[in-house]
Amino acid sequence: MPDTDAGGFQERFYTSSDGLRLYARDYRLDQTVTARRLPVICLPGLTRNTRDFHPLALLLSRDTRVPRRVMALDSRGRGNSAWDENEANYNLAIEAGDVIAACTAFGIERAIFIGTSRGGLILHLIAATRPDLLEAVILNDIGPVLEAEGLARIRDYLNSGRKPEDWNEAAVILKENHGASFTALAEEDWHEMALALYRDIDGKPVADFDPAIAEALKSIDFSQPLPDLWGQFESLSRLPLMLIRGQHTSLLSQESAGEMARRHSGLIRHTAEGQGHAPLLHLDNIPTAIRAFLATCP
């Protein structure tokens, strides 16, 4: 089972505009080689963290032909980043500002971005407000429109009362919640997912995010249409753009993906076979598709 805390990266910290200590992983094994290419910055989903990207970051940073510097960020309240005492600050605008602060702190003027789920929503906002930062974008199972059914499902399992007693049970719970939509995963993949999602506290797995983030989903009125980001997507449509969509996802509909392709004639689409929301990017042929997309970037 891969260790998502194993080596291959440098731990970095930076400070948000409102003073929070935020965390990043910096995969940059050969600076003399990677300096000639734009870095890749990875933004995780709603309650996820940098560990989600560890296998992919190793693949990209150690690529024998075109290695790139890869940075993965923990959003505030997740992973090794500080929790925010003001729960209202867990919003897309503030978190987009944190990404911009990371770029400033690490001297990154332009990059290729990978955004999983909420990370992709953040990229919609950055495209509209700081387009100079974006060279190209990969959206992982996310677009301008969220399906209410999928978001309600996320709300329900994040706020369920069952907590694992040990690491094996953590993998079992994840498989029970997601197994129907992640048919491509082997047993070791569920254990790897547990290592990415949970933190070890005195030998016991504990969800590695501020519970206030999940609690906020309870306030969504699903009887009303969810807001969309089509206006911000227009800024993304001017960039090289790739969309990875889980075959069994409930958050990004085929209709929305088709409309994204209609509005962006150059959109590269890839289906993550046997996966739901959000696809694990190091499985099957997804890394090959990502590397092919990156090969078109400086």
pLDDT beyond 70 at 120: yes
Q: Please, which pLDDT band fits residue 34 given cuts at 50, 70 and 90?
A: confident
Across the range 32-54, mean pLDDT stands at 94
pLDDT beyond 70 at 156: yes
- Give the tens place of pLDDT for each residue, 56-78: 999 999 998 999 999 999 999 99
Structural domains for the chain: 11-28+38-45+70-78+88-146+228-298 (3.40.50.1820), 149-225 (no CATH)
Across the range 211-227, mean pLDDT stands at 93
Q: Please, which pLDDT band fits residue 160 given cuts at 50, 70 and 90?
A: confident
Across the range 250-264, mean pLDDT stands at 98
Chain centre distance of CA 242 = 14
Across 152-164, b (16+ Cβ under 10 Å) vs e yields: ebbbeebeeeeeb
Q: What is the pLDDT of residue 33?
A: 80
Q: What is the pLDDT of residue 5?
A: 62
pTM: 0.96
- Cα–Cα distances (Å) from 11 to 34, 97, 150, 232, in that order, read 18, 21, 33, 32
Across the range 85-103, mean pLDDT stands at 98
Q: What is the pLDDT of residue 35?
A: 82
Across the range 214-237, mean pLDDT stands at 94
Residue 104 CB partners (closer than 8 Å, separation 6+): none
- Give the tens place of pLDDT for each residue, 226-238: 999 999 999 999 9
Q: Please, which pLDDT band fits residue 4 given cuts at 50, 70 and 90?
A: low
